[in-house]
Amino acid sequence: MWLVVGLGNPGRQYAEHRHNVGFMVIDALAAKVEADAFRDKFSGEMSRCELRGDDAILFKPQTYMNLSGDAVQPCAAFFKIPKERVIVIHDELDIPFGDVRLKKGGGHGGHNGLRSIIGRMGADFGRLRMGIGRPPASFKGDVADFVLSSYTAEEREKLPKIVETGAQSVLSIAARGFDAAMKQRNTRPKKKPKPKKPLPDEASQDATEAETTED
C-alpha cells in the first residue's frame, strides 16, 4: 500500500496559492484514477484508490502546513505503511517553476510542512518536489509572502500541464518503483549540439566553388 500526501493549507482563501500545489496534484491524481470520495480522517481528507494494481491512500492534511506531521504520522501508523512507501508532494523554492523532481529522504530545506513530518516520523520518505522558483526581484515581500501568494496569469496557463506531470510521476513510482521513477524524472534530456557556422573565409570559398561549378 502507498500513502500519497499532498501538502497545503485548508480553506478556499489558500486554494490557488503556490504553497497548495500539493493539494492540486492530489486532486488531479484522484480524478485520473477515479479514487473514492474524500472523507475526513486523521485530521485530514482521505481517499482510497488503486495505483497500478496496488492499494493506495490519497491524503490532504487539514492541520495547516506547519502541523502536517500531526495528520500524516497517525495515518501512516494506522495503515502500517512504511516510510519507503510514503510520497509527500510539496512546493519547492529551489527548483524553477514548471520543473518536477523526485527525491528520497533529506532535510526540510525550510519547508514547514516537511519540517513537521520529519519531526513526527523521520526523514526517510519520498518527496515529489513541485518547483515554484524563488521570488523575482520585483516581488514586494519575503519568501513566506511569496509561497502564500497566487500564481501569475502566465503561470496559471501552464499550471494544469505541470500538475498533470506531478500526477503522472506518482503513477510512474507505483509502476516502476521510486528509484527507477526518480532516475527518469530527474534526468534532463541532452541538448542537441548546434550546427557549426562556417568561418567567413570558408563561406567565401564555398560560394566561389559553387560559382565555378555552375560555369
Q: Could you tell me the CATH number of the domain that includes residue 201?
A: 3.40.50.1470
Place of cell 528509484: 179
Q: Which residues in 151-181 are b (16+ Cβ under 10 Å) and which e? A: beeeeeeebeebbebbbbbbebbbeeebeeb
Domain count, the chain: 1
Radius of gyration of the chain (CA): 23
Q: Which of 19, 90, 108, 111 is catalytic?
A: 19
Q: Amino acid identity, residue 187?
A: T
Place of cell 523554492: 93
Question: DSSP of 37-104, one letter per residue?
Answer: PPEEETTEEEEEEEETTEEEEEEEE-S-GGGTHHHHHHHHHHTT--GGGEEEEEEETTS-TT-EEEEE
Question: DSSP of 141-173, one letter per residue?
Answer: S-HHHHHTSBPPHHHHHHHHHHHHHHHHHHHHH
Residue numbers of the domain that contains 166: 2-214
The pLDDT tens digits for 150-201 are: 999 999 999 999 999 999 999 999 999 999 999 999 987 666 666 666 656 5
**Share of residues in the chain with pLDDT > 70 (%):** 87
For the question of residue 108 being annotated catalytic, the response is no
The pLDDT tens digits for 72-113 are: 999 999 999 999 999 999 999 999 999 999 999 999 999 999
